[in-house]
Amino acid sequence: MSDTHTNYIVVVKRDCPTCVLVEPVLAQLQSGGCKLQVWSQDDPTFPETVTDVGNDTNLEKSWAMKIETVPTVIRMEQGAEAERTVGWDRSEWQRLFDNDELVAELPDFRPGCGSKSVEPGMPEKLALRFGDINLQSREIVVGEMEDPMESCFERGWSDGLPVVPPTQLRVVRMLAGTNRDPAEVLGHVPPDLQPCTIEKVAINAVMAGCKPEYLPVVIAAVEACLIDEFCMHGLLATTWFSGPMVIVNGPIARAIGMNSGGNALGQGNRANATIGRALQLVIRNVGGGKPGGVDRATLGNPGKYTFCFAEDEENSCWESLAVQRGFSPEQSTVTLFAADGVQGIADQRSREPESLCHSLAASLLAVGHQKFVMHSDAFVILVPEHQRIFAKAGWSKQKVIDTLMEFTTRPGSELVPGAGGIEEGMPEFVKDMELPKFKPGGLNIVHAGGTAGLFSAIVSGWLASGDMGSSPVSKEIVI
Amino acid sequence: MDLEGRGIPGGYILTEQFRQADLAQAKSLGFAANKVFVEHPIQDRTDDEMGVIAERAFEAVKAMIVEPVAD
Amino acid sequence: MTEVFLDPTAELSAANKAILPRLASLEGKTIGLLDINKPRGDVLLDRLEQLFAAEGVSVRRYAKPTMTRVAPLETKQQIAMECDAVVEALAD
């Protein structure tokens, strides 16, 4: 960074009043024979009274020396940094330069200013230009006549909506959202079973419109979808409606501004919208899973663009989904469910928990098919005004689930082919059995939604649940 | 033409004279469409001569729009 | 200025934009012949139309009003609605 004859390096910029303040000190030191190399970040003619000022307007030196504040004084020993001080602190400078007679008219102390090399967005630019960032992905040069946005569509990278073009700078900025190595392989994404690195996740997160701080959530969602029990390959390939729904729990949900309140399942929140979308783009682009290709959905559902929200833990009287699944409240997690669309349940009259359970149960029976049992799993997204009825009665979440399981248990005679005048139904042998609508563990409740409205939701799942297909999976979010 | 974007496969016929220009365009568009080159010049050809050019190009034109038949 | 993107895919296909799959066969298909309105292109397309017709392929003819502009939107939409594949001629 400097030849061995230099004893001191000082980094300054004209735009900093403290740097201007110390100009006579630098001149005094240099004329006194001190071997001083000054680098200027903004104006190579500053300081005028110092000779041989180095031009660091491209900030290469500042970046390499990790300058955060100007002025920074670095004392060198045999070509290596021995110590540094920032700003103007008379006693520090006198100690560092071993000189008790620095310009007397100056105040004893002035803080410095921010280095240009740490201005917002600059560290990533400099890292890309001067650093050893070694991204593995193929570079795609976009033609001069190409519109970058159109180009992404034409290359087949989009889910149908515009994507943010994944420039190197944007990807580097995205990767700053995690401490993990860009080259780390998370697993193999179906259907093509291609290795998926953190870097590939970051590229797709850029395209989805994520902020870098969302990246750890996206990474966890990708990791979760690769867990065997989730059966992402089959989920993608099925003719059924489902796609992955992402439920975020723990402190990160609030930290990154996710919506767990009004319209939590709807549009309008960037984190909700882009995290779910990024997961789908990874499956599309890294896994090669596209409609018309391996994705054979007969109708699909709009949640296959994106389906992600946070549980409202703060205003809930129950343990969260994540805690119920074995995590601590301090851990941040994603839980994935192979989900169809949203089915509303209106009940504005029930005041007793039993009545509300009967209401919910009646609607839950319709999941998949009114005569199917032990097929689809389901999540009830219970809104605050409905949860309050259970809270008032002192019901635990488990008690509500047990009651719903009981109220949705049906005699097999109502389920067999022909019953109710419907040819569809469960096999004949269930005729004399009593069967619960859901498998054990197949019914879950999370708390979300606005404070007004006695309208909860059922999100039902893939007909092939459990060992036959997909089970909900959870993964801790690691920064 | 953005007919490919509308799901219609296709290609175009151009004369040898345009080989370089076509390469440059493909580069700037990031996209090389299917094409068939025919001889140049053509402005001064008789109708019969144009017919012969078309006949010679026909198999290549079909190959632009139809998958090769597997042996 | 050219931009550089990082490939979001598993990089199994060529870096260039892929072209659509071709037709499996010409049987029962309709081919659009688009005259980009340069001299003699029409004569070439007349002959190609005969050759396609001789193989039992339906052909529809379209023309750009001027060779200097891209085809109007209505023409593109018409081709998309009426044809299975399209051939443009003749650039010289």
Pairs across B and C, CB distance < 8 A: 124
Q: What is the mean pLDDT of residues B27-41?
A: 77
Pairs across A and B, CB distance < 8 A: 19
pLDDT digits (tens, 9 = 90+) for A62-101: 999 999 999 999 999 988 999 999 999 999 999 999 988 8
pLDDT at position B32, please?
A: 65
Burial class (CB in 10 A: 0-12, 13-18, 19+), A125: middle
Residues of B with CB below 8 A from C19's CB? 4, 9, 31-34
pLDDT band at A133 (very low <50, low <70, confident <90, very high): confident
pLDDT digits (tens, 9 = 90+) for A296-325: 999 999 999 999 999 999 999 999 999 999
| Complex ipTM more than 0.90, yes or no | no
pLDDT band at B1 (very low <50, low <70, confident <90, very high): low
pLDDT band at A132 (very low <50, low <70, confident <90, very high): confident
B15 touches chain C (CB under 8 A): yes
What residues of chain C have any CB closer than 8 angstroms to a CB in chain B? Answer: 16-17, 19-26, 31-32, 34, 39-40, 43-45, 47-48, 51, 70-71, 76-77, 79-80, 83-92
pLDDT band at B30 (very low <50, low <70, confident <90, very high): low
| pLDDT score of A102 more than 90 | no
Rounded to the nearest 10 degrees, the angle between the axes of helix B47-65 and helix C41-54 is 60
Compute the distance between CA of residue B6 and CA of residue A370 in angstroms, rounded to an integer. Answer: 41
Compute the distance between CA of residue A19 and CA of residue A53 in angstroms, rounded to an integer. Answer: 13
Mean pLDDT value across chain A: 95
| pLDDT score of C18 more than 80 | no
pLDDT at position A118, please?
A: 94
pLDDT at position A128, please?
A: 85
pLDDT digits (tens, 9 = 90+) for A366-392: 999 999 999 999 999 999 999 999 999
Q: For A171-196, give one letter per residue: b (16+ CB within 10 A) or e.
A: bbbbbebbebebeeebeebbbeebeb
| Residue A403 · residue A357 · CB < 8 Å | yes
Residues of A with CB below 8 A from B3's CB? none
| pLDDT score of A3 more than 80 | no
How many C-beta neighbours within 10 Å does residue A47 have? 22
Compute the distance between CA of residue A448 and CA of residue A384 in angstroms, rounded to an integer. Answer: 7
Name the nearest CA neighbour of A194 among C11, C9, C10.
C10
pLDDT digits (tens, 9 = 90+) for A157-195: 999 999 999 999 999 999 999 999 999 999 999 999 999
What residues of chain A have any CB closer than 8 angstroms to a CB in chain C? Answer: 135, 137-144, 148, 151-152, 154-157, 165-168, 171, 189, 192, 194-195, 199-200, 203-204, 207, 281, 285-288
> Inter-chain contact C90–B1, Cβ cutoff 8 Å?
no
pLDDT at position C68, please?
A: 67
Residue with tokens 């309208």: A455
pLDDT at position A441, please?
A: 92
pLDDT digits (tens, 9 = 90+) for A225-248: 999 999 999 999 999 999 999 999
pLDDT at position A2, please?
A: 42
pLDDT at position A146, please?
A: 86
| Residue A377 · residue A439 · CB < 8 Å | yes
| pLDDT score of C92 more than 60 | no
